[in-house]
Structure 1
C-alpha cells in the first residue's frame, strides 16, 4: 500500500514541474493583486471621488461615478483573470479562445455602462429632459427603447466576435417586429396615441377636461391609456387611441370663465326702474375685483311670458371652480340687494286664466 501511494506521489510531482508550479503561483498572485485593486478602487478611490463630487456644483460627476463604479470594479477583476489565465495557457488556440472571451466580456461591460447611463433616472435622461423640454412621461419609453437597442447591439457584436452570421439575426428581428406589430395592432394604436398626447399636450395631469361621455380631472397618462377622475370620484380609464380621435374640451386652459343668464323683472317694473337697475348692475360688475372688466354686457333683452328679461353676460378672472362659485354667490347677493333698493320684484312664472260665464252671455 505504501509503495502504491509513493508511486502516485512521484508521478504527480513529475507531472507538476517546478516551472508549471511557478506559473500557477504567478497566475494566482496576479489575479489576487487585481482583485485587491478592484476592492481598493471601489471602497477607497470611488468613495473619494464621490465625496469630492458632492462638493462640486455640477450634478453630472457624482451620477456618472455611481453608474461607472460597479462596471469598473468588474473590469479590473476581468483584466486580472485574463492575465492570470494567459500565464497558464500554453497553446495558441487556447490563447485565441481566451482573447475572444475577454473581448466579449469587454463588450458586455461597455453595454452594462451604457445601460445604466440610459436609465430613466440617470443624469443623462434628466439632462435631455431639461435641454430639449422632453415630457417626463416620454423619458421611460425612450429609456426602454435605448435599453433594447443597447442589448441588441451587444448581442450582435458578441455574435460577430464568435463568427455567427448576424445578418440573419437582424433579419429575424425585423420579421419578429412585423409579426408583433400585426398581433398587437390595438396596443400600438394606444401607444402612438399616448405619444401624440405627450408631444402635443392637449392636456396634462391635473387638467379638467371633457370628452363625449366623460368629464373630470386627468389623474394619470400612460402609453396605453389615460385615467380621468370624474366629479363623482369614479376613475374612468380611456384608451389613448380613443382620445386622439375625439374632440377634447380642456376647461383648465380657459383664460377666464363665462357667466351668462337672464334676470327676470316683474311686469309692474317701470321704465325708469329698469334703466336704474341696469346701470347699477353694470357698475357693480365693473367694481367687483373678480370680474373681468373687458366684457360686461347688461341689456334689457326681451319680454318673457311672465317677466321682463334683462340679459347679463360677463367673465370671471379666475377659472378655478371653487373660486368661480364663490364669485357667483357674491354677485347674486349683490343683484338681490340692487333689486331691493329699487323696489323691483322677481316674479314667479304665472298665467292669468279668464273664465267665461256662458249663462250670463246667453241672457
Structure 2
C-alpha cells in the first residue's frame, strides 16, 4: 500500500514537471495512430480481405471480417498506450493502468469471437454442411446464441480474473447454489432441453406450417425458452418448448400432395345405370384433370345411407398451397354438379318417409262406421226440415 502511494506521488510530481514539447509529441503519436487507423481500415484491411477471398476456404475472410471493428478500436488503444509510454513518467508501468489495457485487449478479443459466432459465419455453414442440415434448420441460430452467450460469459470471467477476483470462488459458489437454482428454474431448464429436443429431432423448420393440440400456424423463431408461431389470424403465439416437445406435431409443410375426400349423396330414386354412369364419369374427370395427382384416385358407390345413395370420392392435388387447393376443389365440385345435371340425377337431402300399414278388417270397419255416420247425418237433416 505504501509503495503504491509513493508511486502515485512520484507520478504526480513528474506530471507537474511535464513540458509542452513532451505533451505535443505524445499527442502527435496518438494522431499518427489515429490516421493510420483510417488508412488501415480503408485500404490495407480491404486489400488483405480481397487476398483471403482468393483462398480455397473462407475461414480467414470470416475471421478478418469478425475482427474488423475490434481492430479499429485496437489502433486507438495502442496509440494511447504508446503516447503515454513516451511521456517521461512511467504511468504505463503502474498496475492499475496495465489492468485497464489488458482488460481492453481481452474485451476486443471477446468482441471478435462474438462476431465470429454469428449464425451466418463460415464456421456454422461448414458445420451445417457436415451434419447435413437444411438451410432453414434452427439448430444453427440456436447454437450461435449458446456460443455467443458463452463467449460473453468467458470474457467477463477472464476480465474479473485480471482484476484479481477469485474465479474459483465464483465457480464454487455456483456449485453450492446449483441445487437451489435447479429447483427454482425447473420450467426454464425444461424449456431449454425441450428446445434442444425440437432442434435435434427436427419435427419442423423455420417457416413450416405446423399444427398441435394447442396452436396452428407458421414457425417464426425458436429461443432458449419458447417457440414463436404466427397463426393464420396473423398473431404471434409463444409456446414453451417443454409443452411443444411433449405434444403431437403435424407438419403440413412436409406434404408432397394434399388430400381431398368427400361423399356425394344422390336420391334413392336414381336408377342403377345412371348411378354407374355418374361414378364412371367422375372417375374419368379426376384422371384427366391436370392438377390432380394420379397416384391414388378412388370413386366408388360406397353406402346405402338413411336418405341417400353415397358415392365416395378420394384423391390428392399436386399442389399443397392452401389457396390453390381450394381453387382446385371448387373446380371439381362444379364439374361434378354438371355431370349430375347432365345425367338427370338429383342430389339427396336429409328426409324420411313414413309408411303406415293397417289390417284389412280394421279398414272395412272404419268404412262402415263412416257410412253409418253419413246416413245418421242425412236422417237428422230430414227431420229438422
Instruction: Output the CA distance in 2 between the equivalents of 1:124 and 1:65.
Output: 17
The answer to whether residue 152 in structure 2 is matched with residue 147 in structure 1 is yes
TM-score by length of 2: 0.75
The answer to whether residue 241 in structure 2 is matched with residue 246 in structure 1 is no
CA drift of 1:353 comes to 0.8
Q: 1:117 matched to which residue of 2?
A: 112
Q: 1:128 matched to which residue of 2?
A: 123
CA drift of 1:235 comes to 3.8
1:10-159 equivalences under 5 Å are 28=23, 31-52=26-47, 58=53, 60=62, 61-81=64-84, 83-84=85-86, 87-89=88-90, 98=94, 100-101=95-96, 103-119=98-114, 126-133=121-128, 134-156=139-161, 158-159=162-163
CA drift of 1:208 comes to 2.2
Q: 1:281 matched to which residue of 2?
A: 282
TM-score by length of 1: 0.79
Instruction: Output the CA distance in 2 between the equivalents of 1:255 and 1:238.
Output: 27
Instruction: Output the CA distance in 2 between the equivalents of 1:74 and 1:172.
Output: 35
CA drift of 1:215 comes to 2.3
Cα pair distance change 1:175/1:48, threshold 3 Å: farther
CA drift of 1:351 comes to 1.4
Cα deviation, 1:153-175, whole Å, max 9, x if unaligned, reads: 2322x14xx5x654323323444
Instruction: Output the CA distance in 2 between the equivalents of 1:111 and 1:179.
Output: 32
Q: Work out the number of aligned pairs and report it.
A: 333
CA drift of 1:34 comes to 3.2
Contact 1:64/1:123 (8 A) holds in 2: no
CA drift of 1:296 comes to 0.6
1:230-309 equivalences under 5 Å are 230-309=231-310
Instruction: Output the CA distance in 2 between the equivalents of 1:324 and 1:335.
Output: 17
Cα pair distance change 1:175/1:41, threshold 3 Å: farther
Cα pair distance change 1:169/1:27, threshold 3 Å: farther
Instruction: Output the CA distance in 2 between the equivalents of 1:206 and 1:124.
Output: 17
Contact 1:118/1:147 (8 A) holds in 2: no
CA drift of 1:264 comes to 1.4
CA drift of 1:177 comes to 5.1
- The more displaced of 284-293 and 225-234 is 225-234
Cα pair distance change 1:285/1:143, threshold 3 Å: same
Q: 2:3 matched to which residue of 1?
A: none
CA drift of 1:209 comes to 1.7
Q: 1:344 matched to which residue of 2?
A: 345
Cα pair distance change 1:206/1:62, threshold 3 Å: closer
Unaligned runs of 5+ in 2: 1-12, 54-60, 129-138, 367-385
CA drift of 1:211 comes to 1.4
What secondary structure sits across from 1:216 in the alignment?
strand
Instruction: Output the CA distance in 1 between the equivalents of 2:236 and 2:19.
Output: 68
Cα pair distance change 1:256/1:113, threshold 3 Å: same
Q: 2:181 matched to which residue of 1?
A: 180
- What's the C-alpha RMSD, in Å, of the aligned pairs? 3.2
What secondary structure sits across from 1:135 in the alignment?
helix
What secondary structure sits across from 2:67 in the alignment?
helix
CA drift of 1:30 comes to 6.0
Q: 2:376 matched to which residue of 1?
A: none
CA drift of 1:284 comes to 1.0
- The more displaced of 263-272 and 236-245 is 263-272
Contact 1:41/1:73 (8 A) holds in 2: no
- The more displaced of 137-146 and 303-312 is 137-146
Instruction: Output the CA distance in 2 between the equivalents of 1:36 and 1:351.
Output: 100
